[in-house]
Structure 1
Amino acid sequence: MTLEQALRSSLQAEVVPEMALAALIAAIRPASPTNHEELALRLQDLCWLLEERADYRQGLRQVLMSVLEHGRQISLYAESGILPNTGFFSELSRRISRFFLPDVIDRRYLKDMLSVVFARSDDFQWLESITLEQWQVLYAALSLPSLQVSAALGRTRYEMLEAVQVLSFRIASIGLDPELLRNEPSLEEFESPFLTQNGEIRNYLEDYKCWLLDSNYVPQDDKHIHVLLGQCRDALTKVRRIALQRGTSITLTYKLRRLEQNIARMESLIGVLSDWRAEEGASLFMRSVTLLCELVREENRKNNLRDHFRQTLDLLALRVTENASRTGEHYITETRSEYFSMLRSAIGGGLIIAFMAMLKLTLAKQHMAPLNEAIAFSLDYGIGFMLIHIFGFTVATKQPAMTAAAIAASIDESGGRARNLDNLVTLIARTVRSQIVATLGNVGMVVPMAMLIGAAFYWVAGEHFIPPEKADHLLESISPLGLNLFYAAIAGVCLFLAGQIAGYYDNLCVYNRIPERLKQLRWLSRLLGEERLGRMAAYVECNLGALAGNFYFGFLLGGMASIGVLFGLPFDVRHVTISGGYWGFSLVALDFAVEWQTVIVALVGVLMIGFVNLAVSFGFALTVALKARQVSVEQGGWHLLRKVLQRFWQSPREFLMPPRRD
């Protein structure tokens, strides 16, 4: 349908107003929402037709007024784009169900009419691309300044006032929620801006209605309302800042997001109402257009799952990566003493992993049922990694998920400034050499230790720890050929997930105040004594996340192969340090009678598995950390990469060994 046909349909007596508007929008809508030239031409044609034909102009205004007069509007202003009070998971369930089976359209409500008029999910994109000049030309073509105050506009104004009242009650209710008061008790101790704004809004609404009834009435301005809403925003920001220190939850994050949405919508509505009272036609039109674009966007995306996750989980993700960032700082060495301390720590980790590999091979000989075997492997890895942490040792592949968050924090703080980018390059150099020395420490210890265990077993038992056939299979499993590097990438994903789990449990520990609650257990106090209980609570506070991350990492590694068998998928894992242990066991089992090419290929495989482990886990962790901080990669971007390569070319030693004086 052409523009002229759509305008002509609005002149028919039996026309359904929202369908006439839907036809007009369909005629304006460009083939692609990013085709601004096509949109500009269609708007130009629309404005020309409205200027040339008074009947088209009158018909379009009649249709607009009819939609406003017959549609209930409060739900559009007070609900569209604002999260309901049902909670995160209830809203998630609603969006999933509506994605497959949309709601019934009820044309009594303006909210549903908007969905009919702007029926495509990308309509908001081209609508928001319309420039200020184009809106002004359309405003003039419609001759809106000459439009008499109709019953439809009067009804719209009253429904906006009612929507403001609804929003005010919601803001007051959420502002006194126990979740918020828990993080900011002063909201309860002193006069809360969330309650104060409610009283001021009631006065504003009464004042506005008096002005509507009596044109000679001198109304008050709305400056104090904006001050109070600003104080509400300040309180909201303070709660978020405290949540980064004391922990957060999905429930708290959801309520903070909902509170922010209600405040923003109230500010938009009060802006429209104030311009309406001041009879500022052009300003009122532009405010109304801005509100329309916002409402269309929210209606178009009301069932979007990605938006729901992104909007709600941002703060939680930031809290998780903040914990990982602080932990990651301990994995980055600056001085030579820290560098060699990291090496010693990694050697200790390699020592324990050699015994973990030995136990895993022993369990494999038992040929247990798949589920039992998966549980046994998982417990072997999980308990082993926890012991490494308890003894203060290091697993090299655990570092990237932590150090990536620290680097993301530095990118956020640098803001792209050259001097800070130089400092960031130095941090990356320190991170690289820390990763290298930790990997060398792990592998450099696990290989000879595995050989020693294999030789000791042969000396005691008179037979090799593993048969030659198993040794050949293990060497094949750590070569860089086949799917082994893909399996190493799966292990990298497991490492990334373990880092996120560690951050989550650190957040959980702080948010639920687990150390303080442990101290209140009387039976535990009698059993351990107050001093030991205090030390235990302090240890839990500092280490719960790391212990949980290590334990779950073990279960991810141990259970991945069984998941592959269960679903018939090529799933398995290759971990660099454990692969190094297999290499040592295999050489002893074959009495070192192995072709040198096979030895070299296996060694290259171990190194490549390590590289893939580190690269995949670091890449995922850095991406999540940047997104949580709402930092785009372009802020570091190619400029940062060039500076890193430049530094490596000028001083490659810095990426391998700390200078004598840092």
Structure 2
Amino acid sequence: MNNKVNSHTNLMEQVFEQYAHHDDAPRLIADLVAQVRPAKPEQTDSAIKSIQALCYLLSTDAERARQLRSAILLLLSAYNPLSLFLIARHSVFTGFFAEMRRRIAHKILPEAIDGDYLVDLFAIFFTKTTDELWVNTVPDDVWSQLIKVMRFDLADKELILSCQQNLFAASQVLSYRTAALGLEPELLRNYPELEQHSSPFIMQQAELAEFMGAQDVDNAHTDIKHILVMLDQCKAIVAKVRRNSALTGTSIHLTQLLQRILRQIERLEELLSILHCFQHGQSADAVIVKLFKDLVYSECHKNDLHEYWQESMEVMAVRVTENASRAGEHYITENRSEYFALMRSAMGAGVIIALMAMFKIVLAKQHFAPLAEAIFFSLNYGIGFMLIHILHFTVATKQPAMTAAAIAATIDNASDGKTKDMHNLVTTVTNTMRSQAVAIFGNVVVAIPVAMLLSWAVLYLSGHHFVTPEKAHKLLSEIHPFTSGAFFYAAIAGVCLFLSGLIAGYHDNLAVYNKIPQRLKAIKWLQRLLGVERLARVAHYVEHNLGALAGNFYFGCLLGGMGAFGLLLGLPIDIRHIAFSSAFVGFASFGLEFMLTWQMVAYAALGLALIGLGNLMVSFGLALYVAMKSRKVRFNGWRLLLRNLGSRLNQHPAEFIFPPRDLMPEALVNETEPEV
């Protein structure tokens, strides 16, 4: 042994000597963990050397091995370990928001420690939230070696029997809990077959009861296999419900319920495996090490807000982005007919946007109180965006939040680096950029002249300009690329666009999961008012458009209320939207009777370009990030993707602006082949 190991050994020897004449198992374990704990959690080598030094000490000193062995068995038998075994990755049996409140409260004011319960003593052993880092990084064979040198085969039989009884009791409780979760109405609603056939959630508990009551070893050996089969069937049902959520929707309650079931089953399998090994004289070191690491992880993350939120939102995020993905596919054009259809749709939206911009200027002239003004602005935007959707028009900036999910799905397929999938990804990105460009063109090229036409109509009918020269200069100054915060405000609008995409996906999920169309058709007074057939058409429309309508309305509310929100906080918060800013340029140009210098025209054009860039970059970036995180996509081919996009741009630059006459020849697939 080198000097460093000898130093570790001497320190641990002092710890054992301190508790040699009086039994204090919790303090002995806590002091030994403190000796093993590295100065920094990432210093795994230091922890490994400390554990190896402890192994050397125990292997050369049988009394120290007995002392540590007895302390651990005493903890597992006399300190109420049942609640510790039942913790499955810090899962709890409360609602989502109740658990969030609990974690926040315990972060501020930690819970009291009851020394009679082993689950509370774990907080004394592992006092730092970073302890799980080095505990889990230390190789399993190092921990297994520590278990071996403690020689549990020489332990007191009564202590061993008491520990086994506690494991049996914990297994029984876990089995009861799993059976109860399998009877939850939320699960039965999403998997009604559980009521029609023998439920594996119930059968596993019956099998466990037989296993615990069996006296013959052979029968016990057979019964534990039956239990594991039933538990596998339970996991299969959970997996099927999760897959079906793409069609039937999901909820936070269902997501949390499925997570609980899987964690309880996993813990039950671990405890049964340990019991099985004990009864057959086999080594359970691997399972014990895994259980130990899980328990440490649970202790260190018991009040972790970020991870709890992330795990609870995982399935919901998949559902929301799947809805956005299906909607986003309609915004990606592949041929000329779709391309011109999108252009016409965007041009139609440009007319309504010019009218919405006009109404906003009229409302602003009234100088309402900030709250009333925010409400009127929100209604103007929200109703206008809903009208655009009802008329099947397209707002260009609504595309990125939708198309990002579709691109994430393509990235998911291309993440293995296959040539065909990479070619499809390049094609999807090219089609998306082209579609986005033509949508912006359609919005802007119509919004500006329509705004001018409206200004002329007001001048013709009233004899006065709709926008005074002072207001016109103010409108132009608000989009100045250098002296205003146009790009920053455009980024805020991009965040609103991203949020509207999530809201749309959430309401689509809400419509499907809560069966809103079916419930609408069951309302008697609506049947009498509209008739059964017309009500069925309304319900069908709601089923397929509730998310889009809600997303558009809330997007309008976000845009309309952002200025008042900034005023309330005393912060420079506002929004800039490419389509509305274009309409304002049209109003300002007519108000100044087109007496614009070339510098003013250049600044206005550059300002509009920056606003459009800010809208698109932020909304697309956030949506793509969420879509990829929800799918757990890890794409490492960004350089290859950029290289292939550059190659496509160099060889076929027109495709980024205008679709090809025919589909791309198959020979071009070879151009995107990754280098080996």
**Equivalence map 1:549-568=2 (5 Å):** 549-568=551-570
* Structure-1 residue corresponding to 2:209: 202
Mapping of residues 28-39 of structure 1, within 5 Å: 28-39=36-47
Deviation for aligned residue 1:159: 1.0
Answering whether residue 130 of structure 2 is matched by residue 122 of structure 1, we say: yes
Please say if residues 426 and 641 of structure 2, whose CA atoms lie closer than 8 Å, have aligned partners that are also in contact: yes
Distance in 1 (alpha carbons) for counterparts of 2:175 and 2:73: 28
Partner of residue 673, structure 2: none
Question: CA separation in 1, counterparts of 2:132 and 2:514?
Answer: 41
Distance 1:226 1:387 in 2: 56
Q: TM-score, normalised by structure 2?
A: 0.94
Q: Which residue of the partner structure matches residue 304 of structure 1?
A: 304
**Distance in 2 (alpha carbons) for counterparts of 1:39 and 1:50:** 17
TM-aligned CA distance change 1:218 to 1:505, over 3 Å: closer
Cα pair distance change 1:153/1:431, threshold 3 Å: same
Q: CA deviation at 1:165?
A: 0.9
Matched, 1:94 2:64: no
User: Is contact 1:82-1:261 (8 Å) kept?
Assistant: no
Report the equivalent of 1:372.
372
Q: Give the letter for the 1:623 counterpart.
A: Y
The letter for the 2-side match of 1:313 is M
Give the secondary structure class of the aligned counterpart of 1:587: helix
Counterparts of 2:329 and 2:167, CA distance in 1: 52
Give the AA of the match of 2:200: P
- What amino acid sits opposite 1:38 in the alignment? S
- Mapped partners of 1:582, 1:34: distance in 2: 56
Aligned equivalent of 1:148, options 152, 155, 162: 155
The partner residue of 1:503 within 502, 505, 512 is: 505
Answer with 340-349 or 162-171: which moved more: 162-171
Amino acid at match of 2:61: R
Equivalent in the alignment of 1:10:
16
| Cα distance, 1:82 vs structure 2 | 5.0
Tell me by how many angstroms 1:62 deviates: 2.8
Q: CA offset at residue 295 of structure 1?
A: 0.8
Q: CA deviation at 1:559?
A: 0.3
- Is 2:62 aligned against 1:51? no
Matches within 5 A, 1:71-110: 71-110=79-118
Of 151-160 and 564-573, deviating more is 151-160
Question: Once the two structures are superposed, what CA deviation does each residue of 1:124-154 show, in whole Å capped at 9, x if it has no partner?
Answer: 1111111133234323433444x23433322
TM-score normalised by the chain length of structure 1 = 0.96
In structure 2, distance between residues paired with 1:527 and 1:63: 76
C-alpha distance in structure 2 between counterparts of 1:92 and 1:3, whole Å: 43
**Residue aligning to 2:621:** 619
Which residue does 2:414 correspond to in 1? 414
Q: Secondary structure at the match of 1:602?
A: helix
In 2, Cα distance between the equivalents of 1:427 and 1:105?
57
CA contact (8 A) 2:186 2:254 kept: yes
Q: Kindly tell me: are residues 139 and 453 of structure 1, through their superposed partners in 2, closer, same or farther at Cα, counting changes over 3 Å?
A: same
Q: CA deviation at 1:2?
A: 5.5
Contact 2:70 2:155 (C-alpha < 8 Å) held by counterparts: no
Q: 1:265 to 1:118 in 2, by over 3 A?
A: same
Does residue 243 (structure 1) correspond to residue 245 (structure 2)? The answer is yes
What is the match of residue 401 of structure 1? Answer: 401
2:408 partner letter: A
List per-residue Cα deviations over 1:362-412 (Å, max 9, x = no partner): 000000000000000000000000000000000000001110011111222
Corresponding residue number in structure 2 for 1:462 = 463
Task: Give secondary structure in 2 for the equivalent of 1:220.
Answer: helix
Deviation at 1:413, TM superposition (A): 2.8
**Residue 434 (structure 1) aligns with:** 435
CA contact (8 A) 1:200 1:225 kept: yes
- Equivalent residues in 2 for 1:249-398 (5 A)? 249-281=251-283, 284-398=284-398
Q: Kindly indicate whether the alpha-carbon contact (under 8 Å) linking 1:61 and 1:142 is maintained by their aligned counterparts in 2.
A: yes
Q: What is the RMSD computed on CA atoms of the aligned residues?
A: 1.7
SS in 1 for 2:222: coil
1:520-569 deviation line (CA, Å, top 9, x unaligned):
11111111111111111111111110000000000000000100000111
- The amino acid of 2:642's aligned partner reads L
Checking the alignment, whether the CA contact within 8 Å between 1:82 and 1:262 is kept in structure 2 is no
- Return 5+ residue gaps in structure 2 as ranges: 1-6, 664-676
Query: Which residue identity lines up with residue 118 of structure 1 in the other structure?
Result: F
CA positional deviation for 1:327: 0.5
Q: Report what 1:629 is aligned to.
A: 631
1: CA distance, partners of 2:162 / 2:196: 41
Give the C-alpha shift of residue 652 in structure 1: 2.0
Q: Which amino acid in the other structure matches residue 456 of structure 1?
A: A
State the AA in 2 paired with 1:55. Answer: E
Structure 1 residues 349 and 110: CA distance shift in structure 2, 3 A: same
Q: CA deviation at 1:484?
A: 1.4
2:75/2:81 contact within 8 Å kept: no
